[in-house]
Amino acid sequence: MALGRAELSESGAFQEPRWRMEPKTFVLGRAAYIDLLNSYANGADVRSEITSAVCAVVGPRDHLELVNYVYVCVAQSGASGANS
């Protein structure tokens, strides 16, 4: 991510990028978590394999707390000080 920000800055086409990383915490039930993971399989039905793997890792828990890290980067066009 830092490389991307550096590329924006070094291009001369953008002002200094502003960015932040924001954690978003949410809770999913075991079935919803398995549905989420299965959706990543791009149409392949791997539900039974995912279910076995999830059960082996999470044990008896019915709900899982997940954290998405949302990265936001904004770079306004125009070099610093140019036609603001």
Provide the residue ranges of all domains of the chain, joining segments of one domain with +: 2-74
Res 82: pLDDT? 46
pLDDT tens string 21-68? 999 999 999 989 888 888 888 777 788 888 888 889 888 888 999 999
CA atoms within 13 A on the CB side of 10: 6
pTM over 0.95: no
Structure tokens at 81: 């000080």
Torsion angle of alpha carbons 24, 30, 36, 40, nearest 10°?
A: 120
Question: What string of DSSP letters covers 13-48?
Answer: SBPPPEEEEEEEEEEEEHHHHHHHHHHTTTT---HH
